[in-house]
Structure 1
Amino acid sequence: MQAADAASAAGAGTTAAAPYRLRIVGGLAGISQYVRQEEPFWTKELSRLSAGRFQAEIVPFDRAGVPGAEMLRLLQLGVVPFGTTLMSSFTAQYPEYTAPDLAGLNPDLATLKTTLAAFRPYLEKALREQHGVEALAIYVYPAQVVFCKKPLRTLAELTGRRVRVSSASQADFVGALGGVPVLTSFSQIVPSLTAGNTECAITGTMSGNMLGLPALTTHVHTLPVTWGLAVFGANQAAWAALPPDLRTLLKRELPRLEAAIWAESERETADGLACNRGAPTCNAGTKGSMVVVPVSPQDERSRQEILESTVLPRWVQRCGARCAQVWNQTIGPVRGLQAAPAK
């Protein structure tokens, strides 16, 4: 493992320290979080902030040949010293870590912030003690919403429709509405809709726009089914081996990067919807002519009922009694929702 390149001599008779270089594995390629925030921070800002002493190169994990589900293990082993891992990729092995973004739990970004704040101390401690990973920042992606080919007035009308989902809790949510969840990777959303394998898809408001969904679908519902959280973490040994002033700089600047990414996600959620409907305020996307379906009182009731009766109990079933305990000590009290132990 080489977290950084050693300093080298430059010129005859003089020695000048070469920049200390970090290798970073970032988030999903091609989307705003990476292009407008992560990549510029590591490739430009770090050097500027350190007057050229520290530099970094970054590659998105999905172009680095790193399977998302393996990232936590690769961080633990030090194969990837510094990397971004999608929290949804923990579903199979570590379902307890997916608690803050269960389907239907966070109807807006402000709620997600309070949910995560309640859970974060547990998550950071668990990653450090059980995996040897230092969680340095937690990023958020824009709202994941429902796009459909046919008219949709309420979520209840998903009954019988085949809906692309990307996680177990999204599948639970869609199933409880009477829909048929179809687990599909991001890259297969368009082929699946085109071939008729799915009639609707849950994805980001702007990522859906960039995929060209306004040409394939007619309606987009505004309820955030989930958001999408990602942890930027460091292998503990790699973190400890950094020059102390670099650790200090990152401890100061990474929370700022995190805040910028959260602000961008909020802007992009709104901009994605504006672009999908073809509003004059559309900024970063392509103008479509979709019908944007607002959240009705019935939708809000459905969200709460499905969270309580289906999503949370099924998460506890997959996760075990310890997860009910973790929930009841962290998120439960701030959301007024207790988890019953798995039966």
Structure 2
Amino acid sequence: MQRSIRILTILAGLGLSAMAAQAQDFPKINLKVSGGNQTQNLFQKVYKPFFTETLAAKTNGAITTTFGSLEELGLRGPEVLRLLRQGVFDISEATMSYMAGEDSRFDGLDLPGVTVDIATQRKAADAFRPALAKALETKYNTKLLSMSPVAAQMFYCKGDITGLDSLRGKAVRTFNRAMSQMVEGAGGSSVNVPFAEVIPAMQRGVAQCAVTGTSAGNTARWWEVSDHLYALPMGWSMTFFGANLRSWSRLDEKARAFLEQQFAELEDRMWAQAGSDLQDVFYLILGCFMEPLPMMIVTIPIIVPVVVQAGFDPVWFGIMVVLLCETAMITPPVGVNLYVVQGVRGRGVISDVILGVLPFIGSLLAMIVLIIAAPDIVMWLPRLIGAQ
């Protein structure tokens, strides 16, 4: 017994020594980092944990950050690259389209309707990477670290919208030149409104529609000032993380290699999050109009290869699809099962049924959020069975 204790003590000592040696590999560094909009799932689920927890944990506290969102830093977005070039930040996230006024190449990956699925968008991003890296280095004193989409961009509108013709006469909030040209070509007018000011702009009638990703729009409560969501792909709101070259060159060589590896892994997680946001909205909308079985027969052969390539477990995805389909079937105003229940009741009005299902919708949505945040909740049993 005493011998076992001595062995464990020695092993523990060796482990602590290894951890200390690992921490000594990196000098103490604190990086000034600006993130994106804090209303985005990408910020809350990927950026924030990475910069506030992951880097410090993997270096035993050697690499830390002073990290803030655009809102916390009092920034609007378009000025971020200029501040990064000047060395105000060591590392910044920037939305490419916001920079297109300075260089048209930043619009290259956000052309409406050109790439309509996330797998094709990633291929386009990989092909465009050398051109973007060169532009950032030569013109903006910036090293490209990663690039990814926020989410598929769609229309939030006040008033009926069934297609591009419905945009005629409407003022639409856009955030890049290609979007503006498309809206104006359809007979609408584009207005340049910062993300944080969209709700008051739509309340005052400055804009009748606004374009953003569904996760950002829902989190920012755009549904309070709109009543229609039009799922026409308007681009992906591509973003990148870049480092000020002077700050980067001052880092220890081992720290630079470590950060490059970490940002490569971060990029995969960012693409996976964007894919997750897209699939959730897709099935919730489609499920309002179709029964689950035909919906899955039509979509699964197309969606599954994309989901697997984005890094999701197919078992986890199958469970998500079932939950999303069932939620959509009771989601007002056109959830199919609402009308089935009303028909069986044979009395009263449909609004009574809608009020009755709201607690069930809430519990299903809570369950969906929970298994997105903690996939092991649904994966531990399949993994246990597969290991036997």
Query: Is the contact between residue 107 and residue 223 of structure 1 (CA under 8 Å) also seen in structure 2?
Result: no
1:242-274 per-position Cα deviation (integer Å, ceiling 9, x unaligned): 122211111111111111011101111232455
Q: 1:74 to 1:194 in 2, by over 3 A?
A: closer
- The code of the aligned residue for 2:40 comes to I
Contact 1:26/1:59 (8 A) holds in 2: yes
1:52 alignment partner AA: G
Write the distance in 2 (CA, Å) between the matches of 1:140 and 1:47. Answer: 25
Per the alignment, residue 321 of structure 1 pairs with none
Alignment of 1:1-343 (within 5 A): 19-272=28-281, 281=324, 289=332
User: Partners in 2 of 1:18 and 1:98 — Cα distance?
Assistant: 38
* Residues 238/158 of structure 1: CA separation in 2 closer, same or farther (3 Å cut): same
- Letter of the 2:69 counterpart: P
Aligned length: 274
Q: CA–CA distance in 2 between the matches of 1:41 and 1:282? A: 32
Q: Shift of residue 275 of structure 1?
A: 6.1
Conserved 8 A contact 2:30-2:64:
yes
Measure how far apart 1:155 and its partner are.
Answer: 2.3
Deviation of the 1:277 alpha carbon? 8.6
Partners of 2:333 and 2:262 lie apart in 1 by: 39
Once residues 155 and 73 of structure 1 are traced to their aligned partners in structure 2, the CA distance between those partners, rounded to angstroms, is: 35
CA distance 1:211–1:275, change in 2 (3 Å): farther
Q: TM-score, normalised by structure 2?
A: 0.64
Larger deviation: 145-154 or 273-282?
273-282
Q: Which has the higher contact order (CA 8 A, sep 6+)?
A: 1
Q: Give deviations 1:12-36, integer Å, cap 9, x for gaps.
A: xxxx998432221112223211111
Structure with the bigger percentage of strand: 1
Is the partner of 2:166 in helix, strand or coil? helix
Structure 2: distance between partners of 1:81 and 1:166: 26
CA displacement at 1:174 relative to structure 2: 0.7
Contact 1:206 1:271 (C-alpha < 8 Å) held by counterparts: no
Does the 8 A contact of 2:155 with 2:211 survive in 1?
yes
Mark the CA change 1:175 to 1:110 in structure 2 (over 3 Å): closer, same or farther.
same
Please identify, of 268-277 and 177-186, the stretch whose mean Cα deviation from structure 2 is larger. Answer: 268-277
- Gaps in structure 1 of 5+ consecutive residues: 1-15, 293-343
Distance 2:226 2:334 in 1: 10
2:350 — aligned with what?
none
TM norm structure 1: 0.72
The one-letter amino acid paired with 1:87 is M
Which whole-Å CA distance do the structure 2 matches of 1:291 and 1:204 have between them? Answer: 22
Looking at structure 2, the residues matched to 125 and 291 of structure 1 have their Cα atoms a distance apart, in angstroms, of 49
Q: 1:290 to 1:192 in 2, by over 3 A?
A: farther
Report Cα offsets for 1:80-103 as digits up to 9, x if no partner: 221112111212111222211123
**Percentage of identical aligned residues:** 28
SS in 2 for 1:100: coil
- Give the distance between the partners of 2:32 and 2:184, measured in 1 at CA: 41
Give structure 1 regions of 4+ aligned residues with deviation exceeding 3 angstroms. Answer: 16-19, 213-216, 272-280, 287-292
Comparing 134-143 with 157-166, which one deviates more in the overlay?
Answer: 157-166
1:21–1:56: 8 Å Cα contact kept in structure 2? yes
Structure 2 counterpart SS, 1:166: coil
Tell me if the contact between 2:39 and 2:219 (Cα under 8 Å) persists in the aligned partners: no
More helix by share: 2
